[in-house]
Each structure stands twice: as structure tokens, then as C-alpha cells.
């Protein structure tokens, strides 16, 4: 097949980008969180205290170590998962979707230990609840297929390359906290950081737009 020189150059650039992006994405760190994750103390005082200070709706009270010890018996990973996805009357991410899974973990550590634990540097849990492609089709495609409000388009690698200059974790952090017209966690507070990362990677490596 004879391809005009100009088109051939464009194809070569796109091919090189298609090869480079997946390699870069999959070799980057997997624990996405804000650059300066808040301490457990700060998260508890600004978010969790709304219910855990008074024991609202049966929430274990801050300082009630007997109650926290019972909760901790199932494991910090289970407690954190429940806090991330929501359980009974507790909303996902404590009602603040912009909290990272690491910040939720730090809040759990703080309350379970009565304020004595050192803040962990990795999440106790970040459950993989939905495949990246399924999440993109169910939610992200609403904006990223057409590029609504400036969202990078799925299958348009030129849109993703400049956004990946600081690594995929920067993009995931934006998805966690919200950016411009995009709400925190795409408006789904029960999504984990791992779910968002899978969706970002799926969109960034697509060689062509998704079929409708």
C-alpha cells in the first residue's frame, strides 16, 4: 500500500505513541493519592467526626476503644473497604468522595488506635470492584467519547499524552478529587482508587474510539 509521505509520518508518530503509552502506564506506581495526603487526625476531625464524635446512626464513637477493638477484629482491610464503598448508614468515603483510599485508611488507623497509630503510607484496602472497560462504558464514556467540557477523548492519544507528562497517578488524583467539570470520582463515591486507575488506563491506551 502506498501511503503519502505526510500521512505516513502521522501514522508513524501515532504508532510510536501507541507503543510507548501502555508501557509507561503499567510501570508507574499503583497507589494513587494526592501529593500531600491528609493525616488521619485531620481527616477524622474534618470528615469522620460528623458521625463518629456522637455515635450517630450507630457509628463507633471516637475514643471508645472497646467498640473499636471489636470492629478491628475483622481486620483493618475490611473496615477500610466498608468505609470506601459504604456500609449500612455510612456513605462511601465517609460522604466525601474526594478522600483518597489512603486518607480513608489513615482515618481508620487513627480511630482504631485512639490517635496513637502512625499514618500508613499505603491504603489498607482499595478494592477492584469493576473492570476498567466496564466502568468506562457505564460512566466515563458520557464525557470522554465526545470530549465534553474538554475531557480527553477515548481513542485520541494526542489528548492523553500531555496529561500523562507527570505520570498516570496525576490523572488518577484528578479523577479522585475532581477537575474542572468532572466531579470527584466521576460522581460515584463508592468507586475505589483502584477502580479509577483501571478506567484511566483503559481510556489512555485505546487505539481508536469506542464503538457505540
- pLDDT bracket for residue 167 (50, 70, 90): confident
Is 69 or 3 the better-scoring residue by pLDDT? 69
The percent of residues above 70 in pLDDT, for the chain, comes to: 81
Gap between the Cα atoms of 39 and 146, Å rounded? 38
Whether 29 has a pLDDT exceeding 60, the answer reads no
Top CATH class of 128-212 equals mainly alpha
pLDDT of residue 27: 39
Average pLDDT of the segment spanning 158-183: 86
The closest alpha carbon to 209, from 139, 155, 153, 134, belongs to 155
Whether 6 has a pLDDT exceeding 80, the answer reads no
How does the average pLDDT of the chain come out, rounded?
83
Q: Which helix (H) or strand (E) holds 52?
A: helix 49-52
Domain ranges of the chain: 40-112, 128-212
pLDDT of residue 84: 97
Residue 201, number of CB atoms within 10 A of its CB: 20
Question: pLDDT digit string (tens) for 57-83?
Answer: 889 999 999 999 998 899 999 999 999
CATH of 40-112, one of 1.10.10.10, 3.60.150.10, 1.20.140.160, 1.10.760.10: 1.10.760.10
Give the chain's end-to-end CA distance (angstroms, integer).
30
Half-sphere exposure of 64 (CA within 13 A, CB side): 13
> Would the CATH topology of 40-112 be identical to that of 128-212?
yes
Amino acid at each position: 500500500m502506498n501511503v503519502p509521505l505526510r500521512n505516513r509520518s502521522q501514522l508513524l508518530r501515532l504508532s510510536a505513541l501507541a507503543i510507548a503509552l501502555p508501557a509507561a502506564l503499567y510501570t508507574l506506581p499503583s497507589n494513587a493519592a494526592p501529593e500531600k495526603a491528609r493525616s488521619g487526625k485531620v481527616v477524622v476531625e474534618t470528615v469522620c467526626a460528623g458521625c463518629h464524635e456522637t455515635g450517630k446512626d450507630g457509628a463507633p464513637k471516637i475514643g471508645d476503644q472497646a467498640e473499636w477493638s471489636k470492629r478491628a477484629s475483622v481486620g483493618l482491610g475490611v473496615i477500610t473497604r466498608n468505609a470506601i464503598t459504604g456500609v449500612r448508614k455510612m456513605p462511601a468515603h465517609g460522604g466525601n468522595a474526594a478522600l483518597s483510599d489512603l486518607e480513608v485508611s489513615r482515618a481508620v488507623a487513627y480511630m482504631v488506635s485512639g490517635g496513637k497509630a502512625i499514618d500508613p503510607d499505603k491504603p489498607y484496602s482499595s478494592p477492584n470492584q469493576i473492570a476498567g472497560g466496564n466502568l468506562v462504558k457505564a460512566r466515563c464514556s458520557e464525557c470522554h467519547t465526545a470530549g465534553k467540557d474538554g475531557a480527553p477523548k477515548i481513542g485520541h492519544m494526542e489528548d492523553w499524552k500531555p496529561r500523562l507528562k507527570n505520570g498516570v497517578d496525576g490523572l488518577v488524583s484528578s479523577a479522585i478529587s475532581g477537575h474542572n467539570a468532572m466531579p470527584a470520582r466521576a460522581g460515584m463515591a463508592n468507586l475505589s482508587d483502584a477502580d479509577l486507575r483501571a478506567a484511566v488506563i483503559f481510556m489512555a491506551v485505546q487505539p481508536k474510539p469506542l464503538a457505540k
